[in-house]
């Protein structure tokens, strides 16, 4: 495994995954990421708790394990088998089965690997195959640079983004979804267009060239449909507006130092006294 850059003190620029690991990227607190910035201006307290306070990272949920495994399988197929393993099928009701499973997890923990269930592994492989065979997505990902980190330092705001794939000045963001026909709803719900605006802005500033952005979405159920999407003008505009508002909020909070305030609190409607007629 390649040795990662030592934190803190990341200089603005571009870092490959071999130089700056995913863990080191997320451990950095000097630069603001898309997932953090999109909390502003309405979730400032959560932003402070997650991205400005030193604390141990939360344990990865099963959903995050699956998402990480899918990205690794598609974007870094050579690394995937060295970082992810399948939980063995044992009889967990017997002492022998329990002992075998305990020994397995001890060895995995020592090696720093992530465990996936057999069902999740089968699903990841099926989704990877459809992405690789898709006439647009497969060709677009072929030869792309995977998992690059871009750091940009402005006067009041230091920003960072980490791309899934980057090729010919095209940013490709890999997403899984429950229903490919409703992916546009996920974009709105999770602020993917906000991220698009930030990624394009940061990377354009770093490389001093215009860039484009594509979503590669893959459905998590049969037939594991893959679609490549480009945001229309309205979706791009709304994402950019929210991104600019968040940047302005962050700059104001940093400049004034007023990161937190005492908030007014009222009774919920169900607890308020009822009027007597």
> pLDDT of 211-223, one tens digit each?
999 999 999 999 9
Structure confidence by residue, pLDDT tens digits, 156-172: 799 999 999 999 999 99
What integer is the mean pLDDT of 185-198? 97
Mean pLDDT, range 6-14, rounded to an integer: 77
97 found inside a domain:
no
Q: For residue 227, what is the domain's CATH number? A: 3.90.320.10
The total of structural domains in the chain comes to: 1
With respect to residue 31, please indicate whether it lies within any of the assigned structural domains.
Answer: yes
pLDDT at 6 over 60: no
User: Residue 1: inside a domain, yes or no?
Assistant: no
Instruction: Inform me whether the pLDDT recorded for 5 exceeds 50.
Output: no
Percent residues over pLDDT 90 in the chain: 70
| pLDDT tens-digit readout, 11-36 | 999 999 999 988 889 888 889 999 99
C-beta of residue 233 within 8 angstroms of C-beta of residue 190: no
Q: Which domain holds residue 125?
A: 13-53+63-75+118-256
Q: State the DSSP code for 32.
A: B
pLDDT of residue 57: 61
Predicted confidence at residue 23, as pLDDT, reads: 86
Mean confidence (pLDDT) of the chain: 91
* C-alpha 270, offset from chain centre: 38
Angle between helix 192-207 and 233-256 (nearest 10): 70
- Asked if the structure places residue 69 within a domain, the reply is yes
Q: Residue 29: what pLDDT?
A: 86
Residue 219: per-residue pLDDT:
98
Is residue 110 scored above 90 in pLDDT?
Answer: no
- Residue for token digits 């104001």? 252
Question: What is the band of 228 on the pLDDT scale with cuts at 50, 70, 90?
Answer: very high
Question: From CA 163, how far away is CA 170, in angstroms rounded?
Answer: 10
246 part of a folded domain: yes
Whether pLDDT at 59 is above 90: no
Asked whether 180 and 227 are in contact (CB, 8 A), the reply is: yes
Its sign, for the CA torsion 69, 72, 77, 83, is negative
Task: Report the pLDDT value the prediction gives residue 192, as an integer from 0 to 100.
Answer: 98
For residue 190, tell me if it sits in a domain: yes
Q: Is residue 275 part of a domain?
A: no
Determine the Cα–Cα distance for residues 55 and 100; give it in Å rounded to an integer.
34
Q: Which range has the worst mean pLDDT, 27-31, 128-132, 160-164, 272-276?
A: 272-276
Confirm if 169 and 212 have CB atoms less than 8 A apart.
yes
In a domain, 206, yes or no: yes
Mean pLDDT in residue range 126-138: 97
Please give the model's pTM, rounded to 2 decimal places.
0.88
């Amino acid at each position: 495994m390649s040795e990662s850059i030592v934190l803190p003190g990341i200089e603005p620029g571009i870092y490959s995954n071999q130089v700056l690991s995913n863990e080191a990227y997320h451990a950095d607190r000097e630069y603001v990421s898309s997932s953090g910035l999109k909390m502003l201006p309405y979730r400032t307290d959560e932003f402070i708790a997650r991205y400005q306070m030193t604390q141990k990272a939360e344990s990865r949920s099963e959903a995050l394990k699956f998402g990480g495994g899918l990205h690794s399988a598609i974007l870094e197929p050579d690394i995937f088998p060295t970082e992810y393993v399948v939980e063995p099928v044992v009889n967990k009701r017997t002492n022998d089965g329990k002992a075998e499973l305990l020994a397995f997890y001890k060895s995995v923990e020592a090696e720093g690997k992530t465990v996936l269930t057999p069902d999740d592994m089968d699903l990841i492989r099926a989704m990877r195959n459809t992405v690789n065979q898709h006439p647009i997505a497969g060709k677009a990902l072929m030869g792309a640079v995977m998992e690059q980190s871009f750091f940009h330092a402005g006067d009041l705001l230091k920003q960072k983004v980490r791309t899934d794939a980057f090729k010919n000045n095209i940013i490709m963001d890999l997403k899984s979804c429950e229903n490919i026909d409703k992916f546009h709803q996920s974009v709105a719900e999770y602020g993917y267009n906000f991220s698009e605006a930030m990624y394009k802005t940061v990377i354009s500033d770093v490389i001093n060239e215009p860039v484009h952005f594509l979503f590669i979405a893959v459905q998590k159920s049969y037939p594991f449909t893959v679609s490549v999407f480009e945001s229309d003008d309205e979706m791009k505009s709304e994402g950019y507006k929210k991104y600019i508002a968040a940047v302005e909020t962050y700059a104001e909070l940093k400049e004034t130092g007023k990161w937190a305030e005492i908030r007014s609190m009222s009774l919920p409607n169900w607890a308020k006294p009822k009027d007597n007629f």
